[in-house]
Structure 1
Amino acid sequence: MSTTRQVEVMFRSERDVDSWTARHERGEVPGRWPYGLDLLARPGVTVTRRSLPEPTRADRLRAMLRPSRRTGADLGIAWDENLARRMLVLAPHASMHAGAIWLTDALAADPDSARVRSTLDVLRRMDSVFVNSRAQVEPLERALGSSGTRVSFFTFGVDADFFAARPPADHPLVVSVGGDRDRDPATLFAALARVHDARPDVEIVVQNSSDVTPPPGVTKVPRLSHVELRELYARASVVAVATRPNLHMSGLTVSLESMATARPVVLTRTPGVEDYVVDGDNARLVPTEAPEDLADAVVELLDDPAAAHALGLRARAAIEDRLTSVHLVDNMAAAVGIA
């Protein structure tokens, strides 16, 4: 007799997945659950979700007194290191699996910090850890040591229906989106200043929260809704992404969403990027901290709309072939043993 696997996906309580699902049904956000993780459901696998708050000191003390044998739903999945900690304290499972995003870069910066050490302690208690950049695998395996925690890599993916292919833009526009800790606003703005000098007719819009003042000709906008972001991509002639050197592929989500919209993307070459794009085929890659190269690549695409359009179409094809939310969750299912 076949046995149904019980899988529970963790989310931060601050995220309010009920609201997210309702917004998805109204066409306002991608994926019924964030990252499309509801798609983990498949024959023989029942998937539920749980919202976890930040553990209190009392929660942590109770966790320390709990028997080491884990109970609860059959298998628990946490998207990142911070959720892994919440799961371990508040919702331990018979089998636990978690993503690692920022840890590998924190390891490189300060391996002895209290935050890094405590996060490694959490991940060593997972059955497996998954990453979306191949460059993270070796340093993470080395840091986890002989704990027995398996490290796996699979590619990220986006909702290719929500971010559907759009026709070429009517007017020239360069777009850049995002401001996480590994973005490089100094390089970005220096590059966009050069783009403005070369093509003063081109509109340039940047969405980020950095304190760096944009140069003349560049408009900085506040945080956008998913619908507003999708429409901004649709208006773009080129999308530019500048990051500092990092292992977890900062800027990946924006790059893939733009590619799904059939927009040509110029992004900085960081470790792991080759698992997603091929330079000159479905994106343009430039060195990190090289504003001249970034500007030149953007201007080349602006000056040749036909080539930019062809690049965008090949980018969309790459998304459809292997970088959608469906690909993401199928690869995750295989990594955690529920495929």
Structure 2
Amino acid sequence: MKIERHRWGGILLSVLLLAACASPRPAAPVRRLRVVTTVAPLTNLVYNVGGDRIDLHGLIPEGVDSHTFEPAPEDAQYLAQADLIVLNGLNLETSIERLALANKKPEAVLLKLGDMLLSREEWIFDFSFPPEKGDPNPHVWMDPIYARGYVERIRDALVRMDPANRTYYEQNAAVLLAELDRLDRAIREAIMTIPPSNRKLLTYHDSWAYFARRYGMTVIGAIQPSDFREPSAREVAALIEQIRREKVPAIFGSEVFPSKVLEQIGRETGARYIDTLRDDTLPGEPGSPEHSYLHMMVENVRTIVTALGGRADALQEVDIRNIPDRSRP
């Protein structure tokens, strides 16, 4: 009897051991790529490709001047933990780049999209970014075709670093690239409705240089000089004279940075002053599908075109929602 008990006890122990080995082990949590970016439009382009497969953090808060932004000490922690750091480049974020190089992991990838995309021959120097300072105008993302090049490089980096989610990244990028093509066509059509003599831009900040070159507009000036101070009385007088001479119907300010100088110029010239343009702040509520680069560009172009005497009907064809959010109710 004792032998039988021993035999059954051994069999039972063997069965329990086999069952334990056969039971599936809890799956290890999947660690998403940690991606750090800078200005809001760039952060949004990365989000549109990476969606919920990445942990994304934008360093520069919306409404903060990206040219004068200085990273806080705690920003070094985000950069130290990042797998991928995405900068605009073209000397826009030099202080962030220095902090990144001093703190990033050896294996972390740093992308400077503008430097990757534009040759030196494509750089633009202008009123706010004079050639003697050596820093080209960095607002490349205001040209949707250059933004398209940014998306392609973001997609390629994510696929290379996270091949398990390749299909997801490529599908998101394909939809976004098609939408950017649609945006480009709509902008061209809308700009063509502006009387040729009105296709002139005077803005608060020189962020429209690449856009203007793409779509056949002329930037006749910017209020904010290269050192980001207020313009001198002589500079203001020259702009007033130019606006009167060229009969510019509207001048454009920033929603984030109101300008008393532009208000004065509008009063003295009779040009309509509109202060709702954006270049690194997105419309819509943060977290909403409409808080997007696409929405920013559509609203900007609609404002410019209608103020200069054109029609913006073509822009209705552009879906302004973020790609990862389009399937949500």
Could you say which TM-score interval applies, normalised by the shorter chain? 0.3 to 0.5
Which protein has the bigger helix share? 2
Which protein has the bigger strand share? 1
Larger Rg: 2
Normalising by structure 2, we get a TM-score of 0.36
